[in-house]
Chains A and B, each alone.
Chain A
Amino acid sequence: MTIVLPGAPADPQLPGKPTAMGLRFDGGEGDFVRLAARGALLQFVTFGFYRFWLNTEVRRHLWTHTSLDGDHLEYTGSGRELLVGFLFALAILVPIYLIYFLIGVEVERFQAFGSVPLGLFTLFFGQFAIYRARRYRLTRTVWRGVRFWMQGSGWAYAVRSFGWLLLVIATLGLAWPWRAASLERYKMRHTFYGDLGGAFSARPWAFFRRGVWLWLLAATPVLLFIAAGMAYGMSEQERSQPAMALAIAGGVMSLPVPFIWPWFRALEWRWWASGVRFGDIFLESDLRGAQILKLYLKFAIIASIVSGGAAGLMFGVGAVIVERIFNGKADFDSIGAIFESNQILLVAGSLVGYLVVGLSVGVVQRYFFQREMWTIVTRSLTIHHVESAEGVAARGEAANAIGEGLADSLDVAGF
């Protein structure tokens, strides 16, 4: 809220303009489903290479239908850039994997855990990739002809992220808020919109205080089951009753477990939004766990219907083909004989059926976890003092997509 002191002249530039406003999302549901379905089909036809263009289309759809203060965002990335980034990432990763393979042969001779360091390397390098991929997406995000951009080092971020992760593991997750705050501070203080610098000011303690009960809810059943196991292992006579009681208690305490993750996500998001700053601009979110839970449930229901339908359809198509071949005189032996002599057909047929089911579920997944998630998240946001970003000057260059390529290869890609 702008407080107008008595006697001071009201800002002539902003007559009656609200200082708190929401992000609007006005993308049509049908448009997105069509886009995702077309993309899935093309991915199928192109052996998956279309993913670079599909990801670009999805982002472009979400960005261009999201508006702030009457002007829509713009996504300026292209599928070709992602493809080039992917090829660069390959050129980096292939020699690394090869060297790793050779070292692994040496190490495996002495111990069975020779492959663990590769997992650690992937984890570490993945953090680097995440940072660089964020930079790519950010520098392709434009609002009112001025781009967002980012500085900072992917390596410095990876070291932070990895170090904090060790601490989080050591504290069984309790250090998570401090990790999140440290990483967000690093990301946001290197983030800019034009010449307007970002910052992150949310306190980890606030996150911890609001989230610790979720941690307790998750930890209680685990502790009860461990206690039940220990009680069972104690003395012969009195083992059954306390063990049973503890196990039942553990079972009862497991009931809220499905709620923990959505509530945690919502809490983290609200906390994150409350900490973001761009100059005088600050955010606020009223995202609720119930919204996320509802989204998960809807996804589960629709995905099972769609995959069941697709599987049924493929099975039906197969049955019709067999029927055609045998002209209604099919018995199991002759079908078996046909498959025996056409094994390539059988394998290819089941592979196609499997991929069709997988791709249909992929469309549902994109709809809920990209479009619907984007919708509830953007609609939960209130942005204060947007007017203070008036007249921001353009700065920053578009970054390359190698980070995206690495993230794609290392399977840490987000949007």
Chain B
Amino acid sequence: MTTQPESDASFFDGLTNRRRAVRVRLGASLEILEKDQLIADWPLDAIRLVDLKPDAMRLRATHGQELARLAISDEAMMAALTGSCVNLLVEDHTRKASTARIVLWSFAAAASLLAVIFYGVPLAADRLAPLVPASLDRRVGEMVDSQVKTIFGDKLCTRADGRAAFGKLVRALERAGNLDISPAAEVLDSRTPNAIALPGGRVYLFAGLLDEAQSPDEVAGVLAHELGHVAHRDGMRMLIESGGSSFLFGLLFGDVTGSTAAIFAARTVLNARYTRGAESQADGFAIATMHALGRPSQPMGEMLFRITGNQRGRGPGLLASHPYSEDRLARMKAADGGQSGPPILDAAEWQALRNICKPEG
């Protein structure tokens, strides 16, 4: 009979914290003896490593007392056990195979999150935005409205003949665009040449844009673009998109040091991507609406280009919230259907609209 490796060890039975001086004998199983009495018998394939140091190892077994521990510091026995216990390291996640598995699953999780962020969230926003009750849309719009008025001032332009012309223009566009939400459009007395659409259907045309405009078709195109945002409920869509994506990005990066900036950067790039999509859709709506009215779509593009100039090469396009003006002009020029219908506003009405912010009389 060959001699079986044997050594001293300390045993904790997991029932009390008493340290028991034992002998261990490695054969077909690991026998643990106290004063020549067998007190535990661990099958070799049930033995797991708890921790390993240069001069000591702690072991446990998968059956019996959950917290029973065997501490061995005999070098020969440590080597013999490492050789005989096949499952010693299966639960150690720092092994190459386990780490690779964690990395792989993380990739899978990240890929699925990114897929959701890039395709799922916009799709969900598309489908959900029309389901959001109009009343909620209006509430969000009121929130945004007060912020807009803090930034751009709250003075509306109300000269009567100008308002009549503006109303005619908006109604014409509304009919041509088949809007199912009735927009509330106003002219805001701000020198910024811009126009905005808020959730809930409120549209502001800034007076600065009227100063820049050279024909009613230019203003009509811009307004049709904003009505496009209203028709697509872009305000609510953006809210869902940016909320959903920032939440998912937060999930992705967790509490890695410096993740806040990474999340911010990723969100900025992504939101710009979302808005560019929405803007381009609104341009499409504007072109179709102008076609329906038999009016040209090119003037709007020309005015945009006049205001912004060439945009390519000025700042990273990845962060741009709108497509480049030169590209928008090219698109509207290509889609231009010429003049087949009557002018939306006559010369007098156009003059009245341009003077809408002037005092009455």
Binding site for B on A (CB under 8 A): 42-51, 53, 56-57, 60, 64, 71-72, 74, 76, 78-80, 90, 94, 97, 101-102, 105-106, 108-109, 142-147, 194, 340, 343-344, 346-347, 350-351, 354-355, 357-359, 361-362, 365, 389-394, 408, 411, 413
Within 8 A of A (CB), among B52-87: 53, 58, 65, 67-69, 71
CB closest residue in chain B, given A65: B53
Is B192 an interface residue, CB under 8 A from the partner?
no
Is B243 an interface residue, CB under 8 A from the partner?
yes
Partner of A358, one of B18, B50, B256, B266: B256
Q: How far is the CA of A64 from the CA of B10 in the complex (A)?
A: 16
Contact with A along B99-136 (1 / 0, CB 8 A): 10011011101100000000000000000000000001
Q: How far is the CA of A206 from the CA of B139 in the complex (A)?
A: 55
Given known A57-B94, A358-B258, contact A71–B19 (CB-CB < 8 A): yes
CB closest residue in chain A, given B250: A409
9 residue pairs of the A-B complex, CB under 8 angstroms, read A46-B102, A48-B254, A71-B10, A145-B13, A340-B317, A354-B261, A354-B262, A355-B258, A358-B258
Interface contact B17-A392, CB-CB below 8 Å:
yes
Contacts of A344 in B (CB 8 A): 318
B255 to chain A, nearest CB (A): 6
Q: How far is the CA of A149 from the CA of B117 in the complex (A)?
A: 41
Partner of B142, one of A42, A78, A109, A147: A109
Interface contact B262-A351, CB-CB below 8 Å:
yes
Q: Which of A71, A359, A394 has the most CB of B within 10 A?
A: A394
Contacts of B102 in A (CB 8 A): 42, 46, 49-50, 53, 79
Given known A74-B50, A411-B255, contact A194–B17 (CB-CB < 8 A): yes
Interface contact B255-A413, CB-CB below 8 Å:
yes
Is B342 an interface residue, CB under 8 A from the partner?
no
Given known A45-B103, A46-B107, contact A340–B313 (CB-CB < 8 A): yes
Given known A144-B17, A346-B316, A361-B257, contact A105–B51 (CB-CB < 8 A): no
Interface contact B106-A50, CB-CB below 8 Å:
yes
Is B1 an interface residue, CB under 8 A from the partner?
no
Q: How far is the CA of A43 from the CA of B313 in the complex (A)?
A: 36
Interface contact A143-B17, CB-CB below 8 Å:
yes
- What 4 A-B pairs have minimum CB-CB distances, sorted nearest first? A358-B258, A145-B12, A46-B106, A362-B257
Interface contact B69-A392, CB-CB below 8 Å:
no
B15 to chain A, nearest CB (A): 6
Contacts of A53 in B (CB 8 A): 93, 102
B265 to chain A, nearest CB (A): 6
Given known A109-B143, A359-B258, contact A49–B109 (CB-CB < 8 A): yes
Within 8 A of A (CB), among B241-286: 243, 247, 251-259, 261-262, 265-266, 269
Interface contact B106-A105, CB-CB below 8 Å:
no
Interface SS of chain A: helix
Interface contact A347-B316, CB-CB below 8 Å:
yes
Q: How far is the CA of A236 from the CA of B275 in the complex (A)?
A: 55
Interface contact B256-A51, CB-CB below 8 Å:
yes
Partner of B67, one of A64, A71, A147, A362: A147
Q: How far is the CA of A42 from the CA of B14 in the complex (A)?
A: 35
Interface contact A60-B51, CB-CB below 8 Å:
yes
Is B21 an interface residue, CB under 8 A from the partner?
no
Is B26 an interface residue, CB under 8 A from the partner?
no
Within 8 A of A (CB), among B15-59: 15-19, 50-51, 53, 58
Is B89 an interface residue, CB under 8 A from the partner?
no
Q: How far is the CA of A47 from the CA of B112 in the complex (A)?
A: 12
Interface contact A359-B93, CB-CB below 8 Å:
no
Interface contact A142-B254, CB-CB below 8 Å:
no
CB closest residue in chain B, given A64: B51
Contact with A along B308-336 (1 / 0, CB 8 A): 00000100111000000000000000000
Interface contact B17-A343, CB-CB below 8 Å:
no
Q: How far is the CA of A43 from the CA of B257 in the complex (A)?
A: 10
CB closest residue in chain A, given B140: A105
Q: Which of B10, B19, B94, B261 has the most CB of A within 10 A?
A: B94
Q: How far is the CA of A318 from the CA of B94 in the complex (A)?
A: 32
Contacts of A393 in B (CB 8 A): 15-16
Interface contact A47-B16, CB-CB below 8 Å:
no
Interface contact B253-A48, CB-CB below 8 Å:
yes
Q: How far is the CA of A390 from the CA of B253 in the complex (A)?
A: 46
Contacts of B103 in A (CB 8 A): 42, 45-46, 50
Contacts of B107 in A (CB 8 A): 46
Contacts of B255 in A (CB 8 A): 48, 51, 408, 411, 413
CB closest residue in chain B, given A352: B262
Contacts of B142 in A (CB 8 A): 109
CB closest residue in chain B, given A337: B313
Q: How far is the CA of A48 from the CA of B10 in the complex (A)?
A: 40
Q: Which of B69, B247, B253, B258 has the most CB of A within 10 A?
A: B258
Q: How far is the CA of A355 from the CA of B39 in the complex (A)?
A: 54
A63 to chain B, nearest CB (A): 9
Q: List 8 additional A-B contacts (Cβ < 8 Å) besides A42-B99, A340-B317.
A: A47-B253, A105-B143, A109-B139, A145-B13, A357-B258, A359-B256, A390-B17, A394-B17
Q: How far is the CA of A358 from the CA of B258 in the complex (A)?
A: 5
B104 to chain A, nearest CB (A): 9
Q: How far is the CA of A60 from the CA of B94 in the complex (A)?
A: 12
Interface contact B58-A74, CB-CB below 8 Å:
yes
Interface contact B256-A389, CB-CB below 8 Å:
no
Q: Which of A74, A102, A354 has the most CB of B within 10 A?
A: A74
Interface contact A394-B254, CB-CB below 8 Å:
no
Q: How far is the CA of A307 from the CA of B140 in the complex (A)?
A: 43
Given known A74-B69, A105-B143, A106-B139, contact A145–B316 (CB-CB < 8 A): no
Given known A147-B67, A361-B257, contact A347–B265 (CB-CB < 8 A): yes
A40 to chain B, nearest CB (A): 8
Contacts of A343 in B (CB 8 A): 316-318
Interface contact B94-A90, CB-CB below 8 Å:
no
Partner of B256, one of A48, A102, A392: A48
Q: How far is the CA of A355 from the CA of B91 in the complex (A)?
A: 31
Given known A48-B253, A106-B139, A394-B67, contact A347–B17 (CB-CB < 8 A): no
Contacts of B254 in A (CB 8 A): 48-49, 51, 408
Q: How far is the CA of A355 from the CA of B93 in the complex (A)?
A: 25
Contacts of A143 in B (CB 8 A): 17
Contacts of B91 in A (CB 8 A): 78
